Chain A
Amino acid sequence: DAGVIQSPRHEVTEMGQEVTLRCKPISGHNSLFWYRQTMMRGLELLIYFNNNVPIDDSGMPEDRFSAKMPNASFSTLKIQPSEPRDSAVYFCASSSHLANTEAFFGQGTRLTVV
């Protein structure tokens, strides 16, 4: 398996623009997590899904952030409108079971909002 695949790897956008990050989890995994990593706050869990259903989105910072998982092989994290403070590395991770958090991480998307 190719592992968790994220795209794009890098994204530079202007403040106010919509940004969409994409994730393909490992085939057969039914839990998916979105994390954000910054120097100041480290790795923070934003939202997680189980069997394509959002279970907990309490980590989503604001209404500008939204995430979807239309099927077992694809998820998106959208920021609209983007702000400079959203600049961070966003990771997607998947695991075979929600109670099994031996999660496998993607390479991340480095987002820069100017």
Chain B
Amino acid sequence: EDQVTQSPEALRLQEGESSSLNCSYTVSGLRGLFWYRQDPGKGPEFLFTLYSAGEEKEKERLKATLTKKESFLHITAPKPEDSATYLCAVQVAYKLSFGAGTTVTVRA
């Protein structure tokens, strides 16, 4: 069965304190790995798609990387507005399977 595990469950950071979130996966036939951001009371918002090991994508203070077994979302010098739950998902065939998410809180 396809599995997606995110760690840590929660992360509290001081503004400017860089850190990384982990998404490890066990799937057959990975077509892509996706990162989404979800704010309270809202739907997930698409951030990145990664398709092959070694690929990297950047957007503002966020950088996503992919290996054969896991993906990392690096947050560089975070600001309070980066506080959210970050979800990763793996695509197998036409389905997205989501991890449980990492809730990031950035304090000013």
| Docked complex Cα distance between A56 and B87 (Å) | 23
List the B side residues contacting A50 at CB < 8 Å.
94
Task: Give the secondary structure class of A's interface.
Answer: strand
How does the 8 Å CB contact mask read for A15-48 relative to B, with 1 for contact and 0 for none? 0000000000000000001000000001111001
Interchain residue pairs A-B with the least CB separation, the first 4: A105-B43, A43-B98, A42-B100, A105-B44
| CB interface residues, A 48-67, toward B, < 8 Å | 48, 50, 55-56
In the assembled complex, how far is the CB of residue B50 from the closest CB belonging to chain A, in whole angstroms? Answer: 12
Within 8 Å by CB of B43, from A44, A55, A91, lies A91
- Tell me if B96 is interfacial: C-beta within 8 Å of chain A: yes
* B95 close to A56 (CB less than 8 A): yes
* B44 close to A43 (CB less than 8 A): yes
In the assembled complex, how far is the CB of residue A5 from the closest CB belonging to chain B, in whole angstroms? Answer: 11
B90's closest neighbor in chain A, by CB? A101
- Tell me if A104 is interfacial: C-beta within 8 Å of chain B: yes
Within 8 Å by CB of A101, from B32, B42, B87, lies B32
Tier of interface size on chain A: 20 to 34
- Tell me if A102 is interfacial: C-beta within 8 Å of chain B: yes
- Tell me if A113 is interfacial: C-beta within 8 Å of chain B: no
Tier of interface size on chain B: 20 to 34
In the assembled complex, how far is the CB of residue B39 from the closest CB belonging to chain A, in whole angstroms? Answer: 10
- Tell me if B99 is interfacial: C-beta within 8 Å of chain A: yes
* B43 close to A93 (CB less than 8 A): yes
Given A93-B43, A105-B45, A108-B42, also A99-B98 (CB < 8 A)? no
* B49 close to A102 (CB less than 8 A): yes
In the assembled complex, how far is the CB of residue B11 from the closest CB belonging to chain A, in whole angstroms? Answer: 17
List the B side residues contacting A104 at CB < 8 Å.
46
In the assembled complex, how far is the CB of residue B33 from the closest CB belonging to chain A, in whole angstroms? Answer: 11
List the A side residues contacting B46 at CB < 8 Å.
102-104
In the assembled complex, how far is the CB of residue B9 from the closest CB belonging to chain A, in whole angstroms? Answer: 11
